[in-house]
Amino acid sequence: MANVVVVGAQWGDEGKGKIVDWLSERADVIARFQGGHNAGHTLVIDGEVFKLSLLPSGIVRGGKLSVIGNGVVLDPWHLKKEIEGLRSQGVTITPETLMIAENAPLILPIHGELDRVREAQASVAKIGTTGRGIGPAYEDKVGRRSVRVADLADDATLELRVDRALVHHDALRRGLGLEPVDRDALLADLRAIAPSVLEYAAPVWKVLNEQRRAGKRILFEGAQGALLDIDFGTYPFVTSSNVIAGQAATGTGIGPGSIDFVLGIVKAYTTRVGEGPFPAELHDDDGQRLGERGHEFGTVTGRKRRCGWFDAVLVRQTCATSGVNGIALTKLDVLDGFETLKICVGYELDGTRLDYLPIAADQQARCTPVFEEMPGWSQSTEGARSWADLPAEAIKYVRRVEELIDCPVALLSTSPEREDTILVTDPFAD
């Protein structure tokens, strides 16, 4: 049976939550493979709004197994809060519907504190983090000093892991003018939260491989967007993990040969939260209009998103680095009513035309967009569920996007509602 990876193909906020929820009806297992609770997914189901930031989007659908893989950094206190919030909305969550990788690293309170202190330093350029400890938690993972889910089950191991982490953190905190970590209080907090995490702990790699062999359909869900990838994003204004599709394998323990289709989620225009280069950004009335019509505020942070025209150069890059087989184009309805639309088809850098975004940060900052204009449309596309419901100019826009990014449209989303989706190619088709 087909297994599908869903990745954001821009800077995040592309509408992954709705698409993953839409696809979850066809899947048996939904697995998160990277990130933490710093990227929000908003789902609208039968008029009720569900806001998720850590749990897989499939958790709100009955009869599915939701999995948090080892590539995710897990804040156990946030996990408990998010589970309680969903239960209050009538969602059933049990160890039979949710599993967490035993080797997933934990986000500790010291990680969030460190994140916020660093971002507040006046002498250091801001990255634009959410301050939730994601980056420092990944640093500890690579530095081999993480406390992981399995460590919560054995007190002697837990103490060893905490002591190893504090050798590093206390030295770092002294340099930042912070007090040493209260070891005993941290251990007490971890012991108290342990039961809320351990009841869901499982060898996720084993479970997923068994599910695959049994012919179950697995949907792999990432957070953020490929342009925030630690290697292929606009470094250093990126997240602290790999976001591209290859991470689905290493972030869950399933082999790359088990992935059959990569679906890239692409917004019909471009947005970005936080700092960093954005060649196609708009600072005029059109940018304001996109933000207002698209309700462009972060699910987790509430921060206003920067808005710009569709950047075909960047999406073409991310389709290549993630091996995208087809895209889901979202928020087409936000473009309704524009007399003229623009698409970024290249960059000018110091008098040279480029068809890609260079890696060097200083060059990225100097890139200016080369736009191609297209006629807009006056009719509404909101709620369209077939090509026949779309104005001719909207169809031309979609086809031009396909040409420019060298990738076909598999799905077209025309509103936040789950069923307002035009299916072109079913990613789960065998």
Is 130 annotated among the ligand-binding residues?
yes
Nearest to 296 by CA among 22, 1, 10, 5: 10
Is 267 annotated among the ligand-binding residues?
no
Is 231 annotated among the ligand-binding residues?
no
In 3-state terms, what secondary structure has residue 296?
Answer: coil
Is 129 annotated among the ligand-binding residues?
no
Q: What is the DSSP string of 200-237?
A: TEE-HHHHHHHHHHTT--EEEE--S-GGG-TTTSSTTS
Is 415 annotated among the ligand-binding residues?
yes
Is 124 annotated among the ligand-binding residues?
no
Q: Which of 13, 21, 140, 420 is catalytic?
A: 13
* Residue 41 designated active-site: yes
- Do the strands 368-375 and 310-311 form a parallel or antiparallel pair, or are they unpaired? unpaired
Contacts of 326 by beta carbon, 8 Å cutoff, 6+ apart: 261, 263, 264, 407, 408, 409, 410, 411, 424, 425, 427
Is 206 annotated among the ligand-binding residues?
no
Q: Which of 41, 64, 169, 267 is catalytic?
A: 41
Is 13 annotated among the ligand-binding residues?
yes
Is 224 annotated among the ligand-binding residues?
yes
Is 332 annotated among the ligand-binding residues?
yes
In 3-state terms, what secondary structure has residue 403?
Answer: helix
CB 165 within 8 A of CB 147: yes
H/E stretch holding 393: helix 392-405
- Cβ-in-10-Å burial (0-12, 13-18, 19+) of 33 comes to buried
Distance CA 183, CA 179 (A): 12
Is 368 annotated among the ligand-binding residues?
no
* Residue 13 designated active-site: yes
Q: Which of 111, 141, 169, 342 is catalytic?
A: 141
Is 240 annotated among the ligand-binding residues?
no
* Residue 81 designated active-site: no
Is 92 annotated among the ligand-binding residues?
no
Is 144 annotated among the ligand-binding residues?
yes
Q: Report the 3 state secondary structure along 124-163.
A: CCCCCCCCCCHHHHHHHHHCCCCCEHHHHHCHHHHHHHHH
How far the first Cα of the chain sits from its last, in Å, is 6
Is 12 annotated among the ligand-binding residues?
yes
Residues making up the binding site for Mg(2+): 13, 40
**What positions carry a catalytic annotation?**
13, 41, 141
Residues making up the binding site for IMP: 13-16, 38-41, 130, 144, 224, 239, 303
Residues making up the binding site: 12-18, 38-42, 130, 144, 224, 239, 299-305, 331-333, 413-415
Residues making up the binding site for substrate: 299-305
Residues making up the binding site for GTP: 12-18, 40-42, 305, 331-333, 413-415
